[in-house]
Amino acid sequence: MCLILIVEDEQRVVAFVDKGLRRNGFRTRVAIDGEQALQELRSQPFDLIILDLGLPKVDGWAILQELQRLGNQGPVIVVTAEIDVRDAVLQTGAHDYLAKPFRFQDLLTSIQAALSL
């Protein structure tokens, strides 16, 4: 069973994604800010990371840089309200980018594609 880290500071988005993933058979962990995300990433490997860019304490861009440094982490799907960052996000090595608001089915499709690599 895949373990997914959800890095998101908006509680409604966390609840929406977490509930949907669990219903689809995934195990999840949640980090509500960048510092907590980095602690989680250093403590255990994840099969996939769902990452918001606009986080308190440490932003998602810094987390993407740290993931590159750590290496050997699962694919990253960036979900953000920031516009015009798709190319920059994909250049960091992220697997996919979804603009908020997004449909859960679109996220699930992206996750399935990322995990089939």
* CA distance readout (Å), 57 to 99, 100, 106: 22, 21, 28
Mean pLDDT, residues 83-105 taken together: 85
* Contact between residue 107 and residue 95 where contact means Cβ atoms under 8 Å apart: no
* pLDDT at 33 > cutoff 70: yes
Rounded mean pLDDT of 64-77? Answer: 84
CB of 68 closer than 8 Å to CB of 44: no
CATH number of domain containing 11? 3.40.50.2300
Q: Which amino acid, one-letter code, is at 63?
A: I
Rounded Cα–Cα distance for residues 69 and 108 (Å): 27
Enclosing domain of residue 94 = 3-115
Give the integer Cα–Cα distance in Å for 91 and 87. Answer: 6
Per-residue tokens: 27 = 């195990």
Q: Tokens 């990253």 appear where?
A: 76
C-beta neighbour count of 68 within 10 angstroms? 12
Tokens coding 68: 């590159």
Q: Is the pLDDT of residue 86 over 80?
A: no
Tell me the pLDDT band of 72, cut-offs 50, 70 and 90.
Answer: low
Whether the CB-CB separation of 69 and 93 falls below 8 Å is answered with no
43-66 pLDDT per residue, tens: 999 999 999 999 999 999 999 998
Q: How many domains is the chain partitioned into structurally?
A: 1
Provide the whole-model pTM.
Answer: 0.92
